[in-house]
Amino acid sequence: MESWEMREWYAEYIDACNRHDLDAVRSFVHPSVRRAHLPGGADAWIADMADLFQGFPDWRWRRIQLVVEDDRLAAHLRGSGTHLGTFRGIAPTRRHVNVAEFAMYRVASGRFSEFTGSENGLELRTQLGQ
């Protein structure tokens, strides 16, 4: 993919995420995607997103910056939502959270094949009062 195509492709991915369309999200992820410090595979990726959306049904990402180089993407995002469902064992607090996220992706054959990024679990728990 050309750089401009990668940017458009990533915008489509973020749109699918913000619609909480897990089938569409899965189409962007290689079945055996490697994720640093997280379980690999598309099923684990989708399960993590489903867990997030259960806890924060209005969760959305906003792209701050995107850098494309060859088969790599670097993204700075803001994620936010209201804690209205159970998330990682934490009962709903009705608090609104807003976290910075940094992600690095490798894209192969039109899908994410590798991912590493900031872990926002501690920041989320802090904002939830945990």
Give the pair of three-digit tokens for residue 66.
């995107």
The CA R_g of the chain, rounded to the nearest whole Å, is 15
CB 98 within 8 A of CB 64: no
End-to-end CA distance of the chain: 43
Q: Report pLDDT digits (tens) over 8-39.
A: 999 999 999 999 999 999 999 999 999 998 88
Side-chain-side CA neighbours of 36 within 13 Å: the count stands at 10
**Tell me: the pLDDT tens digits for 69-124?**
999 999 999 999 999 999 999 999 999 999 999 999 999 999 999 999 987 778 88
